[in-house]
Amino acid sequence: MRDKLINVKNCLVTCLIITMFSGIAYAGPNSSATCGLDMNFSTTDIEADIAASAGDIITVAVVAGGVSNLDTYQAELVYDTTVLEFIEGYEEVPMSGIRNLLKTNRGTTLGFQAVEKEPGTVNIANTLTGTDTSEAPEGSGILAIIKFRVLEDDPGKISLANVHFVDSSQAQDIIRNTAGGNVN
């Protein structure tokens, strides 16, 4: 009886260790990366809030932090449709000296998109051409620039959802450390 209990216990410990290791194996190199919104792209500080009135146009930057060999990203901006209207998205604004993070190491990108897939949700995605690790950037930078029209004087918010980063060896992470922004 005692041997059986010890066997059951050993089995439970083994199961626990397997679960822990598979958990570690699943977390890729970007598991601790961040993704946040800078509600005013024209200033260098990252602002979580912007003051705006009906009729104003706000330009929001999607900013990644702590990435490792980033090759591809996808994210959703979820916003209040009563307060905000999506206008357009860009991967960078060269005239303002704003380059896309993916191009940091002279790589070229393919298929940037910022598409309103349903009212209140804009999907952004972008990828490096090829999978050259030497072109895949480290660190922090701009993933997208998104313009919204403010429809009401009421406060509204934009949050990030379904953020996925993929590195140059095709290891994919869901980015859980995200930060949205507020229109006041």
Interface residues toward Ca ion, by CB under 5 A: 38, 40, 43, 47
Which residue in the shown chain puts its C-beta closest to Ca ion?
Answer: 43
Which one, 145 or 163, has the nearer CB to Ca ion? 145
Q: How far is the CB of 63 from Ca ion (least distance, A)?
A: 9
- The residues near 154 (Cβ < 8 Å, ≥ 6 apart) are 82, 83
CB of 46 to Ca ion, least distance (A): 6
For Ca ion, the closer CB: 38 or 135: 38
Q: How far is CA 164 from CA 16, 134, 160, 161, in A?
A: 27, 21, 11, 9
Do the beta carbons of residue 72 and residue 131 sit within 8 Å?
no
By residue count, the chain amounts to 184
CB of 105 to Ca ion, least distance (A): 24
Amino acid at 144: A
- Residue (47 or 85) nearer to Ca ion, CB: 47
Residue 30 or 40 having the CB closest to Ca ion? 40
**At its nearest, how many Å lie between Ca ion and the CB of residue 130?**
32
d(CA 143, CA 108): 14
State in Å, rounded, how far the first CA of the chain is from the last one.
Answer: 67
The structure tokens listed for 161 are 């959802």
Q: How far is the CB of 42 from Ca ion (least distance, A)?
A: 7
Task: Say how far apart CA 78 and CA 75 lie, in whole Å.
Answer: 10
CB closer to Ca ion, 62 vs 163: 62
Helix ranges restricted to H, the chain = 2-26
